[in-house]
Structure 1
Amino acid sequence: MPADIGADGDAPTWGIELTPEHPLEEIADLAALAEDEGFDLALSSSHYFNRDPFVALSWMASATDEIRLGPGVVNPYETHPVRLAAQAATIDEVSDGRGVFGIGAGDRSALSNLGVEHDRPLRRVLETFDVARDLWAGETVTHEGTFTAKDASLNLEECNLPVYVGAQGPHMLRMSAKHADGVLINAAHPRDLEWAAGQLEQGLEERTNEKGDFEALAFASVSVAADEDEAREAARPPVAFIAGAAAEPVLERHDIDREAASTVSDALEQGELGEAFGCVTPAMIDAFCIAGTTETVAEQFEAALEFVDGIVVGSPLGPDLEDAIGRASEALERARSQ
């Protein structure tokens, strides 16, 4: 594990991503199951075509008692940053102080579908959580930067939510280590996590003591099932989106053919999802998803934990969500005990 990350030395954080593509009652039940299975953190993913993540989180709060809850992750383009601060504070209130704030730059292609310009993402994310922290502290804020706020304040009790930045590129990783409370590294493979840890170390060198501890979590696509082939087959959709958007250095790191990745990307852009999923290669699944049986996934979790403080089990989870939550918990326990 990189020095200075996860300063308290406790057991690894277990997190899970729940995607509100399902009815909210089901999402709440899955959050309760995750809590029962020992997960520490439950994130509701945020995509404009799914149910609202903050509404989902309110349902999750009602169904749980201890697990931390937050968006994983929202972006400060679709919604004004001050509004995001209010929404996150509301979740903290309804969950009796269990809120976290997952913030990232958002997906450029998804934002373009909405006609939203993805401008100066690093500054936008940093300014968003800086302003949010002031608002949560009860301050009235005027801000002029990548967005504007004039005499803004929240009609809510003061709170202090930990900020986790969704990051993959070098600049966002370093910024998160310098300024945030934690990072959600968009990676599953130890090779990518080791590279990310090096970027985080550079940011931590500039982190001041008053910022407190910093936690690095792998936000990893995971698919676990009793049958290896079924788990890998379920991994195709998220892997297609990851591979289709992967930067050239990431593809080179895993020796993935650029033409094969472009084929996936082109099919996604044309809305041919079935074709895109079918073009996902075994090498792409190996690089971008932790997929397999409980035993296989436990081994990959153990390898990942060499470089991070914990793991957020991300979409798709597996072909059967309830079964996958139990298996992921077992795999994390095995990895932790090694």
Structure 2
Amino acid sequence: MTTLGVVFRPQLPPERLRSVAKIADDSGLAELWLWEDCFCESGIASAAAALAWTERVTVGVGLLPVPLRNVAMTAMEAATLYRLFPDRVTLAVGHGVQRWMGQTGARVDSPVTLLREYLVALRALLRGERVTTNGRYVTLDDVALEWPPSYVPQILSGATGPHTLRLSGEAADGSVLDSINPPDGVRQAIKLIDEGRARGGRTDRHRIVVYLYAATGDGAQDRLRAMLAGRGENTDLGVAGDARAIAAAVRELADAGADTVVLVPTPDEPDIEGLVRLAAEEVQPLVVTTVSSSGVDHAASG
């Protein structure tokens, strides 16, 4: 089953979040996603507010940059959200943008080593375990949460590049793939993730979340191409058009193995509330909720 989400970009003022979250909740959107981009808005603080303002929509944070965050603090914040809003929270962690990490003095020599240590410690803490570890980057001395989650949550990892994709398969419960991945890129990413899962002996379900650039309304194609060109990315990425065009692009990613497709508006999206309504009321009903046989097989084996 493939679910649909929309990103509230942190470049928007925080005071816009409430109206967007309420519209997502009221219109029936499955998931609202947030980013913790430096130096915009806190992912955890924004998620807590959005969850408090809503009743049913799942709120995802993709992703929390691990160099900026002590793993014990992330575990405490995550456990609080999981207990306050059971089954409505999805959290992903990742390397963060290395330039931003350098600006904060948090950049490390081996991001993959840090992420591995972080994922192992974070997942153990959220399982309610008492953790002592002395890694290259992550050090804990007899740490356990007083209020661990009442269930064992999934922790996702942002993943780009072969090493991180394999690590995500081995050490995380799901992977978040960025918007540079067309359907063939998603298939290749899943192969690398499955290599990591085999290496780690993982047989549980591994969730695949894929971002998709999306624009609609007047000037949609121009806005999308201008954004991609400005970032030096392939201008054929993403989708611009009406609900049917967006749904077709979502189905292609679902057929490639995506469990969740999250629409990413352009930075100059003139009507984020309208995009959320469109996604919920027009795109979501058009999305086929059964994935292809390759997607089902992947979900069943992991």
Q: Residue 290 in 1 paired to residue 290 in 2?
A: no
Give the equivalent residue in structure 2 for 1:203: 196
Aligned pairs, how many?
284
SS in 2 for 1:316: coil
Q: Residue 123 in 1 paired to residue 73 in 2?
A: no
**Are the counterparts in 2 of residues 69 and 98 from structure 1 also a CA contact under 8 Å?**
yes
For residues 241-270 of structure 1, give each alpha carbon's deviation from its aligned partner in whole angstroms, at most 9, with x where no partner exists: 473xxxxxxxxxxxxxxxxxxxxxxxxxxx
How far is 1:73 from its partner? Answer: 0.1
Distance 2:226 2:285 in 1: 26
How far is 1:235 from its partner? Answer: 6.0
Distance 1:42 1:89 in 2: 19
Distance 1:41 1:185 in 2: 16
Q: Residue 300 in 1 paired to residue 290 in 2?
A: no
**Are the counterparts in 2 of residues 225 and 323 from structure 1 also a CA contact under 8 Å?**
no
Describe the shift of the 1:309–1:237 C-alpha distance in structure 2 as closer, same or farther (beyond 3 A). Answer: same
Q: Which moved more, 1:148-157 or 1:79-88?
A: 148-157
Distance 2:100 2:232 in 1: 13
SS in 1 for 2:214: strand
SS in 1 for 2:263: strand
SS in 1 for 2:255: coil
Describe the shift of the 1:120–1:26 C-alpha distance in structure 2 as closer, same or farther (beyond 3 A). Answer: same
Which of 331, 334, 338 is the aligned partner of 2:283? 331
Q: Residue 141 in 1 paired to residue 93 in 2?
A: no
How far is 1:75 from its partner? Answer: 1.2
**Are the counterparts in 2 of residues 28 and 63 from structure 1 also a CA contact under 8 Å?**
yes
Give the equivalent residue in structure 1 for 2:56: 66
* 1:322 alignment partner AA: E
Give the equivalent residue in structure 1 for 2:183: 190
Give the equivalent residue in structure 2 for 1:173: 165
Describe the shift of the 1:97–1:301 C-alpha distance in structure 2 as closer, same or farther (beyond 3 A). Answer: closer
Q: Residue 150 in 1 paired to residue 141 in 2?
A: yes
**Are the counterparts in 2 of residues 223 and 235 from structure 1 also a CA contact under 8 Å?**
no
Distance 2:229 2:123 in 1: 34
**Are the counterparts in 2 of residues 216 and 310 from structure 1 also a CA contact under 8 Å?**
yes
Give the equivalent residue in structure 1 for 2:34: 44
* 1:155 alignment partner AA: E
For residues 67-92 of structure 1, give each alpha carbon's deviation from its aligned partner in whole angstroms, at most 9, with x where no partner exists: 22232101111111111111111222
**Are the counterparts in 2 of residues 285 and 291 from structure 1 also a CA contact under 8 Å?**
no
**Are the counterparts in 2 of residues 225 and 319 from structure 1 also a CA contact under 8 Å?**
no
* 1:15 alignment partner AA: G
Describe the shift of the 1:131–1:24 C-alpha distance in structure 2 as closer, same or farther (beyond 3 A). Answer: same
Distance 2:101 2:235 in 1: 26
Q: What is the TM-score when the length of structure 2 is the normalising length?
A: 0.83
For residues 29-61 of structure 1, give each alpha carbon's deviation from its aligned partner in whole angstroms, at most 9, with x where no partner exists: 312322333333322200221121111111111
Percent identical among aligned pairs is 21
Distance 1:292 1:183 in 2: 27
Distance 1:80 1:62 in 2: 25
* 2:283 alignment partner AA: A
* Structure 1 spans left out of the alignment, 5+ residues: 1-10, 244-283
**Are the counterparts in 2 of residues 165 and 182 from structure 1 also a CA contact under 8 Å?**
yes
* 1:314 alignment partner AA: V
Q: Residue 322 in 1 paired to residue 273 in 2?
A: yes
Distance 1:121 1:53 in 2: 20
